[in-house]
Amino acid sequence: MEQEKKKRILSGIQPTGTFTLGNYIGAVRNWGKLQDDYECLYMVADLHAITVRQNPADLRRMTREAVALLLACGIDPEKSLLFVQSHVPAHSQLSWVLSCSTQFGELSRMTQFKDKSAKHADNVNAGLFTYPVLMAADILVYNADLVPVGADQKQHLELARNVAQRFNSQYSPTFTVPDPYIAKAGAKIMSLAEPEKKMSKSDENANAFILLLDEPDAILRKFKRAVTDSDGEVRYAPEEKPGVSNLMTIYSCMTGKDFAAIEAEFAGKGYGDFKTAVAESVIAELAPVQAEYKRILADKAYLEGVLKEGAAHANAIADRVLSKVYRKAGFMQL
C-alpha cells in the first residue's frame, strides 16, 4: 500500500535578537517535535526584519546566530528544510505578483500594521504595509499545507488564504490554500513584569523576558522579580491571578506537570519557593540548548554547509512554483 504523503508545514522566525522563552515554548521547541509527522520547512525571515531599521553587520550576525539556535533547539537538517529567506529570490518575486492580487483595503485593515506604525512612527515604510503579502508569498511559494500561527498572525494567514483563492480563481488552480496549525497548551507566554501582555524581547524592561542564552543567575534573578499578587497561593486562575498563572504555565511546559499537580506541590509554600522552582526548571531545560548552540556557532563550516544545502533545496521547490505562476500570469519565458 502506498505510503500517505506527509503534509507540508512552513514556519519562520525573524533574526532580530536572541529568541525568548516565549518563542521557545510557543514555537521553536515544538518545531523539532513536528519533524517526524510532517514535511517541515523552517526559515529565518531576514527580509521581514528590515521593515524596522537594522544595522547590516548586526543583521548578518543575528541571522547566523538564529540558524545556530534553531539547530540547537532540535531542528534536524536531515529531517527538515532549514534556510534563510533572502537566499531564495522567489519569495520577493512572487510577492510582487501577489501584490497585484491583493486589495489596498485588505492591507489597511491589518492590525499589526497599525501597531507597528505607532511603535515606529519615524519609519512607517511601504514594506511595513505590504509585508503581509511577502508573508503570503513565503507560504504559497512552497504550497504549504499548514502554518503554525499565534493569535497575532491569524489575520495574515487569512490574507494568504484569500490571495491564494483569488489567484486560483482568476487563472486556474495553482496554490495550495493553507490551513492554520494550532499548537497545544503553553503557546502563549506572558511578560514577567506585565502578565497581561505577551513576552517580547523588544520590551524596554529587561526583567520582563527570558532570553534563551541568558545566564542561570540572570534567569533566577528575573523570575524572583516576576510580578505575582498578594494572596500567596499558587493557583491557576488566569483572570484573577495572571502573574502566578503565567509562571505555572511555564513550569508546566518545563516539567510536564499539570496545574493540579503544581498546585499540590506548592500548597502551603510561599511564592519564593515557587519562583525558584520555576527558574531552576527553565535553567535545566536551557542548559543543553545553550551548550549545543555554542558548539554549532563555533563550527563555521558546518553552519555554512547547512545553509547552502537548505538554500539549494528551497530554491528548487520555490522556482518550480514561481515558474508556474509566471506562465499563468502571462509573462514571456525564455
Catalytic residues: 116, 198, 201
Q: What is the CA radius of gyration of the chain?
A: 21
Assign 209 to helix, strand or coil: coil
* Spatial distance between the Cα atoms of 131 and 149, rounded to a whole number of angstroms: 16
Contact (Cβ atoms closer than 8 angstroms) between residue 203 and residue 35: no
| 311 exposure class (CB count in 10 Å sphere: 0-12, 13-18, 19+) | middle
Assign 304 to helix, strand or coil: helix
In one-letter notation, the amino acid at residue 193 is: A
* Spatial distance between the Cα atoms of 68 and 225, rounded to a whole number of angstroms: 30
Contact (Cβ atoms closer than 8 angstroms) between residue 141 and residue 90: yes
Grid cell for residue 323? 515558474
Angle at 285 between CA 284 and CA 286, to 5 degrees: 95
* Spatial distance between the Cα atoms of 224 and 207, rounded to a whole number of angstroms: 10
* Spatial distance between the Cα atoms of 230 and 154, rounded to a whole number of angstroms: 36
What 8-state DSSP symbol labels residue 242?
H
DSSP H helical ranges for 146-215: 154-170
Contact (Cβ atoms closer than 8 angstroms) between residue 97 and residue 133: no
* Spatial distance between the Cα atoms of 125 and 201, rounded to a whole number of angstroms: 22
In one-letter notation, the amino acid at residue 23 is: N
Backbone angles phi, psi at 146, to 5 degrees: -135, 145
- Please report where in the chains the cell 538554500 appears, as a residue: 311
Q: What is the largest CA-CA distance in the chain?
A: 75
